[in-house]
């Protein structure tokens, strides 16, 4: 092998030290830690819904229609006598699934495209840049609504629509990162050492993009969570009787005069869920920002 | 400057042309045959063929596209399911939405910019934390839910404002504004959160810059240092942010108009989707993309006028 990896040992210990430093910096931010804990709680609730929720999401107690909160029904019941607390727990599944999977989908599609455009430049870069501009001409939610309409209403399709709608913005970010990283001295050194493009991208460009991507993910997740709620609210996502926070808002809006609490609880769930990811994202941005971490 | 302008306009036109192709193909990808929607209950194959022929649906897609585009640039976007001209419907609905957008941007500016300035000037003090927290809350709140809660509080419980509906400004300005207050606040608070954060970070940058230190060293009063020197440069960045936020505003308009039952452009978009009205949807999406591209072009040009460094540097990467 003609390519010599310089000072592997030092780099490894340096990386470990950096990781420890980042963890310390993160733990010193109580608000970011709270964000992480709450976000993880929402994920755990979504995963464990069948075991936590006191009732099945579609179980109707017709003796208790639009009941106020009680020992039996912590947050009361809705217009069909369904337990609101249980439905919020079950509804977290749709939100977390849409939020996390849509973000993963966007990353899987956008990052390779952005990397290729930014790293290779040449004719491919302006082509990708223009195509991104075209997709960016459609606002995120309009794109998601349009795609959801094309794909048909369901949680899976709403997730795909939200993921694809997040792609153009993410391509732009990863392309910009790859463009600037390419000019770094260590990349030039690797090229001079005769490393292959694939190796440089895998070993040098991509790892250095990670912090930006993590921060981007914490921006896209809450956007997708709210996006799912909007799509379901408009009838383009999860369909009743299946539950999601957006569906609960859509059902509850007809009872705004008699039982505004139906909308209140579902909306608070969306709010706290997206707030937790935003807090986490802000904290991570402060910690990972290379200008402050060196 | 002329070359720069030409380049920017050219790029915007190319983007718009490609966007129009995407809209056209996207609408064709929608499930369901438009002829079935147009034929309503009539499923007679002969009638179907006649409908397809009448609307040119039997021609190859590229031919349909060129035909559609050449009519669209002349302001003819075809007729919708009720045989009404789409362009006319859009022009009819647009002023309502533009008014809502204008009021929302005003709300966003009035809250966001002062909050950002105060937070930057009083960094790490109580007012900074209040403003920063408020912005985070504003970013995390689902705005259509905020709309529902405001209806519940101000319309249902307190009866201060009408819950929904719309009165044209020309008919009754007071009633018009009463109907617009809640939607404008719903959309404006989201914008103000973004503006506040941008204003704060950009002011912090300016306040640390050399020219601000010079201004302070000259003995200028702090007030004039902040308002004249730091603010002026920060506003340039914020102008572009308002342009970029227009996309979020267009998205927000769709949901907000549906909650407050405002017969605007956003409501029209949803109706077009729900009624599977392809011609209408096509026109609506094209117009919103065109509007977005146009505003971003304007912002781009404005930015280069305000900041000559961009213009001299030429193309941005």
Residue numbers in chain B where pLDDT is lower than 50: 314-317
Q: Does B45 touch chain A (CB under 8 A)?
A: no
Contact assessment for residue A87 and residue A252, using Cβ atoms and an 8 Å cutoff: no
Confidence at residue B317, expressed as pLDDT on a 0 to 100 scale: 39
Give chain A's residues under pLDDT 70: 1-13, 289-294
Q: Does B248 touch chain A (CB under 8 A)?
A: yes
The pLDDT of residue B43 is 67
Concatenate the DSSP letters of all residues of chain B into one string.
Answer: -HHHHHHHHHHHHHHHHHHHHHHHHHHHTSSS-HHHHHHTT---HHHHHHHHHHTTTTS-HHHHHHHHHHHHTTT---B-TTS-BHHHHHHHHHHHHHHHHHHHHHHHHHHHHHHHHHHHHTTTSHHHHHHHHHHHHHHHS-HHHHHHHHIIIIIIIS--S-SS----TTT-HHHHHHHHHHHHHHHHHHHHHHHHHHHHHHHHHHHTSHHHHHHHHTT--HHHIIIIIIHHHHHHHHHHHHHHHHHHHHHHHHHHHHHTT--SHHHHHHHHHHTT-HHHHHHHHHHHHHHHHHHHHHHHHHHHHH-HHHHHH-S--
Contact status of A278 with chain B (Cβ, < 8 Å): yes
Asked whether the beta carbons of A226 and B142 are under 8 A apart, the reply is yes
Neighboring chain A residues of B274 at a CB cutoff of 8 Å? 235
How far is it between the farthest Cα atoms of chain B?
86
B256 touches chain A (CB under 8 A): no
- What pLDDT does residue A292 have? 45
Q: Which residue of A has its CA nearest to B246?
A: A139
A210-239 residues touching B, CB cutoff 8 A = 222, 226, 229-230, 233-236
Give me the torsion for CA of A153, A154, A158, A161, rounded to 10°. -60
Smallest CA–CA separation between B305 and chain A, in Å? 22
Number of A–B residue contacts, CB under 8 Å: 120
Out of B26, B29, B156, the one facing A257 most closely (by C-beta) is: B156
Query: What's the first-to-final CA gap in chain A, in angstroms?
Result: 33
Q: Is A16 left (phi over 0), alpha (psi -120 to 50) or beta?
A: alpha
Contact A137 B16 (CB under 8 A): yes
Contact criterion met (CB < 8 Å) for B293 and A137: yes
ipTM exceeds 0.85: no
The residue among A31, A117, A139 with the most chain B CBs within 10 A of its CB, best to mutate, is A139
A249/B145 touch (CB, cutoff 8 Å), yes or no: yes
Chain B touched by A257 (CB under 8 Å): yes
* Nearest-angstrom CA–CA distance, A119 and A113: 10
Chain A residues inside the 8 Å CB shell of B258: 234
Of A139, A149, A256, the CB nearest to B152: A256
Q: Using a CB–CB cutoff of 8 Å, tell me whether B152 touches chain A.
A: yes
Distance from CA of B267 to the nearest CA of A (A): 11
Q: How many CB atoms lie within 10 A of CB B100?
A: 28
Cβ contact (<8 Å) for A234 and B141?
no
Tokens standing for residue B186: 């719903």
Quick check: A115 and A178 in contact, CB under 8 A?
yes
CB contact under 8 A, A140 and B248: yes
Residue B50 touches partner A, C-beta closer than 8 Å:
no
């Amino acid at each position: 092998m003609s390519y010599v990896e310089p000072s592997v040992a030092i780099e490894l210990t340096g990386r470990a030290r950096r990781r420890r430093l980042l963890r310390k910096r993160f733990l010193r931010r109580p608000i970011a830690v709270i964000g992480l804990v709450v976000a993880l709680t929402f994920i755990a609730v979504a995963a464990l819904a069948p075991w936590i929720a006191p009732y099945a999401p579609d179980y109707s107690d017709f003796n208790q229609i639009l009941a106020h909160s009680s020992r039996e029904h912590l947050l009361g019941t809705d217009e069909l006598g369904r337990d609101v607390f249980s439905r919020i727990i079950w509804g977290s599944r749709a939100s977390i699934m849409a939020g996390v999977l849509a973000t993963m989908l966007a990353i899987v599609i956008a990052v390779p495209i952005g990397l290729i455009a930014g790293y290779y430049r040449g004719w491919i870069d302006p082509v990708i840049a223009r195509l991104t501009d075209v997709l960016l001409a459609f606002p995120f939610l309009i794109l998601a609504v349009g795609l959801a309409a094309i794909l048909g209403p369901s949680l899976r399709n709403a997730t795909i629509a939200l993921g694809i709608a997040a792609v153009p913005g993410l391509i732009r970010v990863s392309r910009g990162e790859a463009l600037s990283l390419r000019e770094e001295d260590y990349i030039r050194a690797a090229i001079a050492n005769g490393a292959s493009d694939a190796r440089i991208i895998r070993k040098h460009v991509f790892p250095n993009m990670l912090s930006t991507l993590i921060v981007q993910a914490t921006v896209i997740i809450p956007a997708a969570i709210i996006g799912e709620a909007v799509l379901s609210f408009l009838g383009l996502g999860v369909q009743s009787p299946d539950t999601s926070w957006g569906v609960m808002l859509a059902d509850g809006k007809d009872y705004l005069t008699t039982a505004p609490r139906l909308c209140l609880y579902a909306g608070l769930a969306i709010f706290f869920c997206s707030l937790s990811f935003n807090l986490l994202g802000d904290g991570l941005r402060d910690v990972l920002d290379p200008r402050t971490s060196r | 400057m002329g070359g720069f302008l030409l380049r920017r306009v050219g790029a915007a036109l190319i983007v718009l042309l490609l966007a129009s192709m995407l809209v056209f193909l996207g609408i064709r990808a929608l499930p369901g045959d438009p002829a079935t929607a147009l034929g309503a209950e009539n499923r007679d194959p002969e009638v179907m063929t006649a409908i397809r022929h009448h609307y040119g649906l039997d021609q190859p897609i590229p031919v349909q596209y060129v035909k559609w585009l050449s009519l669209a640039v002349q302001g003819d976007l075809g007729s919708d399911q009720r045989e009404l001209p789409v362009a006319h419907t859009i022009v009819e609905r647009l002023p309502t939405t533009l008014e809502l957008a204008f009021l929302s941007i005003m709300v966003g500016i009035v809250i966001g910019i002062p909050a950002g300035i105060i937070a930057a000037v009083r960094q790490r003090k109580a007012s900074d934390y209040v403003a920063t927290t408020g912005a985070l809350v504003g970013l995390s709140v689902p705005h259509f839910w905020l709309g529902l809660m405001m209806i519940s509080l101000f319309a249902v419980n307190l009866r201060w404002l009408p819950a929904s509906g719309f009165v044209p400004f020309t008919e009754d300005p007071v009633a018009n504004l009463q109907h617009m207050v809640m939607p404008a606040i719903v959309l404006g608070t989201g914008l103000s959160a973004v503006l506040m954060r941008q204003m704060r970070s950009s002011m912090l940058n300016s306040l640390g810059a050399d020219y601000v230190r010079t201004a302070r060293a000259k003995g200028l009063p702090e007030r004039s240092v902040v308002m004249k020197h730091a603010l002026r440069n920060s506003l340039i960045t914020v102008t572009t942010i308002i342009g970029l936020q227009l996309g979020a505003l267009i998205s927000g308009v769709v949901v907000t108009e549906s909650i407050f039952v405002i017969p605007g452009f956003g409501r029209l978009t949803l109706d077009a989707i729900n009624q599977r009205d392809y011609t209408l949807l096509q026109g609506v999406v094209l117009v919103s993309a065109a509007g977005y591209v146009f505003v971003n072009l304007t912002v781009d040009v404005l930015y280069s006028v305000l900041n000559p460094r961009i213009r001299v540097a030429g193309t941005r990467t």
